[in-house]
Structure 1
Amino acid sequence: MGSLVGKLLARGMLAGLLAGLFAFGVAYVAGEPSVDASIAVEEAASAHEHTAAHTHGGAGPAEAGTEKTDEEEIVSRDLQSTAGLATGVLVYGVALGGITSLAFCFVLGRAGRFGPKATATLVAATAFTTVTLVPFLKYPATPPAVGNPDTIGQRTTLYFLMILLSVLLGIAAVVAGRRLAPRLGNWNATVVAGAGFVAATVLACVFLPDNGDAVQPDFPAAVLWEFRVASLGVQATLWVVFALAFGLLAERLLASVGTRTPAPAPAA
């Protein structure tokens, strides 16, 4: 059994790598233009403040002559948007694939009479909802260098707290659905558990603090919208491709070793 789990883990990481390639394509085509536009807005605002400071006597002629007009880049923007972006997305995809394949091993045969493809889709959809979609609804992604840098630690903490709450609520919904199934039936139990998850998520979104300074008030709304749509699209692409690729690989592996999906245990 341990050997089979290791093989599924390897296939999960391979599927994550493939998903990362597709996600990188979406990020480069749909996401990078909005990042460039965001950087241009920031540079224009910085240049305006610099000009205003000199106009109102913010620096003397001697000081102005010694100031650096352009900050030296450690990593060029071209490298960030190509090799840097690809490396980050691919590593994330491989790690995601490995973790999700382990979750697949645990869920297979315990979520009902689902085959490998359906189980992979179910696990990926659940992970996308709890880890990506729900936190995104409360704390949507923002372009780089847009928010207040002094609050980045607080904003990061709140985001990961939302992920933790979403995952815990998702687990609670699954447990509640399984316990209600003998009395209500599978369909009704699923509806009740799903409604409870939505209600609890809404309450969490209401009571958790907002990132009020995550976006500057004068930042172009169109650029922000494009960046957020692209960010969500990258995540959706990653999960969809992973579910399709890993479901196919897992099904072929299990068929080759003659492993059948175990039937769920009868309800007490």
Structure 2
Amino acid sequence: MIKTLVVRGLLLGLLAGFVAGGFAFFFGEPRVDSAIALEEAAAATAAPEPEPAGHSHEVEISRPVQKAGLFLATGLYGLAVGGVFALVYAGLRGRVGPRNDGGLALAAAGTAFVAIILAPFLKYPANPPAVGDPETINSRTGLYVVMVLVGLAATAIAVAVARRITAGSWQRWIGAVAAFLVPVIAAWVLLPTVNEVPRGFPASLLWEFRVASLGTQLVFWTAFGVLFGWACDRAARRAHILAAA
């Protein structure tokens, strides 16, 4: 059963990755092009620095190649996420959340989006090219990873609290949401803020890029949750029919 779920997660994750890649191509890449154009214009007006002896030019990847590689990246992302999701889903099935397979898949996908995408994004939103100091990329990446870990830990706490509450369903929902928000909000407040947007960078372009970035993840998790839930419900109905025959 687990092997079947993993294969299903890999294939549907790949498909959802391509769907998200299409969204990113049409809505995100034009903003990347605009940001790169601003960066190149700023570099052209700056005084060129002399190159040290023995310096070799870095090989730059052209934009058409980068855009084609976008689908490879989102496809690989979907494969990885789909496999991990299937394993987590197998552990949750029959223990936590909705009893029907499709509902559980949608609930798990929605929870994953909130925990590992939305919660970190609200503290450290994505930035286009020309935004951010290259020397601080390691520290910024570390802070983002910390927020992801906080989101995962908060989800585990919320599930544990929900399982301990024996009252009605709405009490469990309130308890779970509160248990999730407390550590997440604490992390938002305590972790340092990163603001490296250069002066004069168009606010509309920054906003559109961030919306497209978050939208790409929303499209992926929605597509994957719907596809995975539909496939699980379809498999369950088929098994029920075979058992009744």
- TM-score, length-scaled by structure 1: 0.83
Query: Which of 211, 230, 237 is 1:248 aligned to?
Result: 230
Query: Which of 185, 191, 212 is 2:174 aligned to?
Result: 191
Number of matched pairs: 237
Deviations 1:53-73 (A, max 9, x none): 6xxxx87xxx9xxxxxxx664
Aligned counterpart, 2:21: 24
Report the CA distance between 1:236 and its aligned residue: 0.4
Aligned letter for 1:209?
A: P
User: SS state of the match for residue 32, structure 1?
Assistant: helix
Which whole-Å CA distance do the structure 1 matches of 2:76 and 2:125 have between them? 22
For the 8 Å contact 2:29–2:67, the answer to whether it is kept is yes
Report the CA distance between 1:112 and its aligned residue: 4.5
Aligned letter for 2:76?
A: V
Aligned counterpart, 1:11: 8
Indicate yes or no: 2:15 matched with 1:33: no
Aligned counterpart, 1:97: 82
Aligned counterpart, 1:75: 61
User: SS state of the match for residue 167, structure 1?
Assistant: helix
User: SS state of the match for residue 99, structure 2?
Assistant: coil
Which whole-Å CA distance do the structure 2 matches of 1:144 and 1:230 have between them? 14
Indicate yes or no: 2:185 matched with 1:202: yes
Indicate yes or no: 2:61 matched with 1:106: no
Aligned counterpart, 2:160: 175
- TM-score, length-scaled by structure 2: 0.91
Which whole-Å CA distance do the structure 1 matches of 2:226 and 2:237 have between them? 17
Which structure has the larger Rg?
1
For the 8 Å contact 2:38–2:130, the answer to whether it is kept is no
Report the CA distance between 1:225 and its aligned residue: 0.6
User: SS state of the match for residue 146, structure 2?
Assistant: helix
Which whole-Å CA distance do the structure 1 matches of 2:22 and 2:28 have between them? 9
Indicate yes or no: 2:215 matched with 1:233: yes
Give 1:112-151 correspondences, 5 Å limit.
112-151=97-136
Report the CA distance between 1:201 and its aligned residue: 1.3
Which whole-Å CA distance do the structure 2 matches of 1:112 and 1:196 have between them? 16
Which whole-Å CA distance do the structure 1 matches of 2:226 and 2:185 have between them? 30
Deviations 1:78-108 (A, max 9, x none): 11012x1111010001111111111111111
Which whole-Å CA distance do the structure 2 matches of 1:11 and 1:126 have between them? 20
In structure 2, stretches of 5+ residues that fail to align are 52-56
Which whole-Å CA distance do the structure 1 matches of 2:40 and 2:219 have between them? 31
Aligned letter for 1:27?
A: A
Aligned letter for 1:217?
A: R
Q: What is the Cα-based RMSD across aligned positions, in Å? A: 2.0
Indicate yes or no: 2:149 matched with 1:164: yes
Report the CA distance between 1:204 and its aligned residue: 0.9
Question: After the TM superposition, which segments of 4 or more aligned residues of structure 1 sit over 6 Å from their partners?
Answer: none
Report the CA distance between 1:254 and its aligned residue: 3.0
Report the CA distance between 1:248 and its aligned residue: 1.4
Which whole-Å CA distance do the structure 2 matches of 1:130 and 1:113 have between them? 19
Aligned counterpart, 2:43: 46
For the 8 Å contact 2:150–2:183, the answer to whether it is kept is no
Which whole-Å CA distance do the structure 2 matches of 1:72 and 1:149 have between them? 16
Query: Which of 53, 71, 88 is 2:73 aligned to?
Result: 88
Sort the Cα spacing of 1:157 and 1:72 in 2 relative to 1 into closer, same or farther, 3 A. Answer: closer
Which whole-Å CA distance do the structure 2 matches of 1:44 and 1:74 have between them? 17
